[in-house]
Chain A
Amino acid sequence: MLRPDETDLLQRALDGDIGEADRRRLGRLLAESEDARVYATALGEVTRGLESDASAEPSQAAVAAIMAHVRQQPLAQRPGWTDRLQGVFGGVLRVVNEMEGVMSRKAKIVWGISATAVVILIAVWIVGVPRVDEGADATIGAAKRHQAQQIGAGDVTVAGTEAQAFMQSETFDRLLKDPNARKVLANADMRALLADTEMRAGLAEDGFAAALRMIARDAALARVYAQEDLAAAMGRADLRDSLMSAEMQAALADDAYAAAIARADLRDAFSAADLQVLYADANLMAAFGKTAIQSALKNGQFRLALADMKLRAELEAADLKAAFNDADLKAALARDAIRVGLGRPQMQAALAVSEYRTALASTALKSAFAQSNARALFTDAAMLRAFSDAAVRGSLTSASFKSAMASADFRAGVASAAARQALSGAAARAAMQSAEMRALISDAAFEAAVRSSALQSALMHNGFAAAVRTTAFSNALAAAN
């Protein structure tokens, strides 16, 4: 009878998954054990039966049939910014709830979060961000945790006459009394995010705002939509798209529709799918749920950057999402200097280039982000100017540069004030465009030169720095290599 470790060894041997010591052990086992030999023979037979099979060749007809279907069907679009906005809301709300220690009732909370998010979206769009006494909130002790103070109607800034109907609705009443909503709205990050002008402008865009307005205008309809299951259904892209259509908006204005949607069976039909669409993007959600990102959101410039439509579009890119999920990058984002850098137009322009994002996601650059001198490099004004140059971005994405960045000495050298000033010059940027320059960067001798005190001193000299920035110098450099 074979022991489990012996059958494991024979199985691993079949896959070539053994080292030299295992090979010797296998030899001994096969020599000494009849059971092992029988088992090895049986495994060999199974493997021969599995692997001596013929290949299926693609027929032209099969490929043509697939391509005929492909040409007829539209590509699914990436989730729009409203999806991501809801994702952000969901992430922030989830963090708030985690802090409150209520995640043990996970499923219920997820539904509740969605309902609250929809209600808050409506409320924020219509009436602005309610003012909540932060001081009072801070003094609520553990003993008073469940004695939820209510948001007073006077704490709300009324933005327009159409808000009146909504303010008289049960939905709004529920929002005012809901301790969860109150805590969410009292959260400084959330309020800062919602109060952001750009974010508000985004909320008012296109059919999204039209649909919200339509729901909010009718108290009965608002009450129906505030129900948890329907609120969850609103997170579904297909339902949201339908809400934005002219036909659906016309339907929403019809009393009969409100009556129909109040029926439980119809609501069930709407909410049949779970929240996968709303939370479909696990990577982005995870990133927004992290403390470092939350901290970054407090920064006004970072929020402005987020509110920028172009950057929001870039946030959809998978490679950037992966970069945002990286531990080193998250640690970097927690630093003020990096956040300020991200908020600058040059950095946003750089982020819009896919090669730059690829570079950001590379192991070498992520490692570099963890180093203080490299962080300084990425936030320096001169370097940011350089980042906006296509040639520099091109060189940043080269394998040789990434390799060079992995060296602490090289990073220290490049991060020096003099080197940064030199690199920001047009001639240096032009030189970086050349293959020779990129090869040079990865050369050990160049690395030694960059970190040498002599070169540092020379670069500090205005005349030398000026010379480095000339076309003649870069031409000479290229010729020398």
Chain B
Amino acid sequence: MYSEVSTEGEDVLITRCLQGDPDSFEPLVVRYYRPLFRVATRMLDDPEDARDATQTAFLKAYQALATFDRHRQFFSWICRILVNDCLNVLRARRPSQPLDDSLADPPGDTADPVQAGELRRRVRQALLELTPEQREVVVLRHFAEMSYEQAAAVLGIEEKMVKSRLYSARQRLCELLAAERIDRNASTRRDRPVTARP
């Protein structure tokens, strides 16, 4: 997704904003709202919070536009602002807040949409068990589809640290899914009606 984002003309738009034309900021909002909202949604697991965080990130970026280093990618910069805000929201929350049911699963493109939807729900639930640092790197890599390098630029850490966090996050997700499967199977067995043996 990130790779689809064209950066052509961004410099011109930013220059116009700095010269007093706020409308030049609109193409940047249109261009980056989707990837940023997606990152925020997966970080916060709450569409309302994600919408607020995305809006706040755009407003903060606009206010601080004069300090933006033109050598950097605008998306990396604003994404870092967003991720920092999301982490602040997460820190203010209690851990493992219940999954918001309003995040409806749209149909996927897998062969079995029911199974695919169930897998997404389980993985999203497991995401909440990760540390904020693990979650941000998973979100950037898998939901924003950033490379290690891009994620490192957004998070302000080294690439090898991105890899390390990503690997441990995925390892943890595997463990959580396995544990959840065991619980589910045990629960199914418990709930199954006992039938008399012939």
Point out the residues of chain B lying under 8 angstroms from A77, CB to CB: 66
The 5 closest A-B pairs by CB, nearest first: A49-B123, A58-B33, A54-B106, A50-B142, A42-B174
Contacts A42-B174, A318-B70 given; 7 further ones with Cβ under 8 A?
A49-B120, A50-B123, A54-B108, A56-B38, A58-B30, A70-B58, A76-B65
Number of A positions contacting B (CB below 8 A): 40
B190 CB, min distance to chain A CBs, angstroms? 24
In the bound complex, CA of A50 to CA of B137 (Å): 12
Mask: chain A, 38-77; 1 = CB below 8 Å from B; 0 = not: 0100110111111111111110001101110111010111
| A45-B177, A48-B119, A322-B71 known; A76 vs B63 contact (CB < 8 Å) | yes
In the bound complex, CA of A381 to CA of B105 (Å): 69
B37 within 8 A of A: yes
B65 CB, min distance to chain A CBs, angstroms? 6
In the bound complex, CA of A223 to CA of B108 (Å): 69
Among A7, A48, A78, contact of B67 (Cβ-Cβ < 8 Å): A78
Point out the residues of chain B lying under 8 angstroms from A15, CB to CB: 141, 148, 166
Query: Is A62 in contact with B174, judged by CB distance below 8 angstroms?
Result: no
Main secondary structure of the interface of B (DSSP, over half): helix
The size class of the interface chain B forms with chain A is 35 or more
**Chain B residues at the A interface, C-beta cutoff of 8 Å:** 1, 17-18, 20, 22-23, 25-26, 29-30, 33-34, 37-38, 41-42, 50-51, 54-55, 58-59, 62-71, 105-106, 108-110, 116, 119-120, 122-124, 138, 141-143, 148, 163, 166-167, 170-171, 173-174, 177-178
Point out the residues of chain A lying under 8 angstroms from B123, CB to CB: 46, 49-50
A11 within 8 A of B: yes
Smallest Cβ-Cβ distance to B31: which chain A residue = A58
14 A–B contacts from the bound complex (CB under 8 Å): A14-B170, A15-B166, A42-B178, A47-B170, A54-B108, A56-B41, A56-B50, A58-B29, A62-B37, A63-B30, A66-B33, A71-B22, A76-B63, A319-B70
Point out the residues of chain B lying under 8 angstroms from A383, CB to CB: none
A8 within 8 A of B: yes
Query: Is B55 in contact with A78, judged by CB distance below 8 angstroms?
Result: no
In the bound complex, CA of A180 to CA of B26 (Å): 52
**Chain A residues at the B interface, C-beta cutoff of 8 Å:** 7-8, 11, 14-15, 17, 39, 42-43, 45-58, 62-63, 65-67, 69-71, 73, 75-78, 318-319, 322, 361
Query: Is B142 in contact with A47, judged by CB distance below 8 angstroms?
Result: yes
